Amino acid sequence: MGELDQDVPPLKISPQGPAETGRRAGDPGPSQPEPRAGRRAGGELPAITRRRRPSLPAAVRGTLPPVRSRQRWLPSLVLALGLLAGWMAIPAVAASSAPRVEARTAVVMDAATGAVLWQRQAHKPVLVASTTKILTAIVANDSYAARKVLRVPESAERVDGTRFGYRTGWLIRRDQLLTTLLLVSANDAAETLAAAWPDGGRAGFLLAMQAKCAELGCTDSTWRDPAGLDAPGHRASAADLALLGRALLERPVLAKLVGSRSVTYVWPSGRRVVLSNHNHFVGRGRDPGALGVKTGYTTRAGSTIVAAQRRGGRTLVAVALGSDHIYEDVRALLGYGFTVQPVAGDELLGARPAEPEAAAPAATLPPAAERITGRVGVSPSPLVERVGLRILAAPLPLAASAGVACLILGALALAWRRH
């Protein structure tokens, strides 16, 4: 007690094994060979020296506070932070994969708010083919009575492109013209609706199209043909078509037409035929919740489409212009759109500056922190708000990389703690 060094008695190895342990002290043992270098004479191994730590008296030990490692909490903290950051980055990684879209211009919009969820050159005016008929139908629906009878002009019988078969001088009701206009994309129906405009005929109808487009918040389009043929100066953007698609769905008669797989049509002679919707997004029934809206094609414009779908109480409008795979494009756009939510800072299509003396402010999205926590109207804690806003502001690749790095650090910290 108190000595720093203590020798361990040498370990004797006997060549005779256990039987030699009974030899009496003083008896001569057998002759031994000369000791080799590195061993002590008599077959003894070198003595092993063990060093003890000096012990403090019990009275002194009782007065000292227990010693704790100041770094024992560090691995746990790093692990917790790494797991938290990784868990929060998982949604960002999932949402970072943009839709695979072939279209030259495209957009997917949340119909309730007008928020752009994804876009590609959404405000670029391009040829849009028969998706023009969305606006033609809106103007006719808002201006003509449902049972108004219109006379087919000669220009309708001679129009290029898809014709339903109307003859000059036939009398067709407005609702019948809208049916053929939207379901089978009849250019002769578009010309008949335009020619019947009471103030200026076809030219006046085109002016009414431009005025209605501006009323709905469109900013990029000029309309020169009611059917959507490639007339000089006839252009529209994907963003404007998304607004027109939403406006059409707000009109029950038109929404029912574009959402129908087939409709019974009665010719002036009384003959009944069943018209199938040319829009395969609705007509083939492969997409639950599909609402329409309209397809188009010309050689110069390529294939175009405005499509809408409702899932889980949300309605989205997708537009793809200039694509050889319009249905795959809108399915990709809508599939992506339903995985994300509108956030503060998204572009809002159709939004207009509030009037100086507006009676009530326009509805806006809840603050970002409230959407993260799901507690709209309840003030979140400053920590939740700061973390949420940081995540929303960070680029998705950066957020994903940070999350993966934190997970790795957390795993290393856990392994260090176990050793």
Contacts of 4 (CB under 8 A, 6+ apart): 51, 52, 54
In a domain, 6, yes or no: no
In a domain, 237, yes or no: yes
| Chain length of the chain | 419
In a domain, 31, yes or no: no
State the angle between helix axes of 133-143 and 187-195 in degrees (0 to 180), rounded to the nearest 10.
40
In a domain, 41, yes or no: no
In a domain, 310, yes or no: yes
Rounded distance, CA 213 to CA 47, Å? 102
In a domain, 384, yes or no: no
> CA quadruple 281, 286, 287, 289: dihedral positive or negative?
positive
- Using an 8 Å Cβ cutoff, are 334 and 307 in contact? yes
What is the C-alpha R_g of the chain? 41
Q: Which CATH number covers residue 223?
A: 3.40.710.10
**Parallel, antiparallel or unpaired: strands 290-298 and 149-151:** unpaired
Q: Which residue has the tokens 């909490």?
A: 73
In a domain, 97, yes or no: no
Give φ, ψ of 186 to 5 degrees.
-75, 115
The secondary structure element, H or E, covering residue 308 is: strand 302-311
* Ordered per-residue pLDDT tens for the chain, 419 residues: 444 445 545 545 444 444 444 444 445 555 444 445 444 444 454 544 555 555 555 555 555 555 555 455 555 665 666 656 555 555 444 444 789 999 999 999 999 999 999 999 999 999 999 999 999 999 999 999 999 999 999 999 999 999 999 999 999 999 999 999 999 999 999 999 999 999 999 999 999 999 999 999 999 999 999 999 999 999 999 999 999 999 999 999 999 999 999 999 998 888 999 999 999 999 887 899 999 999 999 999 999 999 999 999 999 999 999 999 999 999 999 999 999 999 998 999 987 655 555 554 444 445 444 443 344 444 445 454 444 544 444 444 555 566 667 677 777 776 766 66
List residues bridging with 286 in a β-sheet: none
pTM of the predicted model as reported, rounded to 2 decimal places: 0.65
Q: How many domains does the chain have?
A: 1
* Structural domain harbouring 207: 105-337
Contacts of 76 (CB under 8 A, 6+ apart): 413, 417
In a domain, 85, yes or no: no
First to last CA, the chain: 34
- Using an 8 Å Cβ cutoff, are 216 and 134 in contact? no
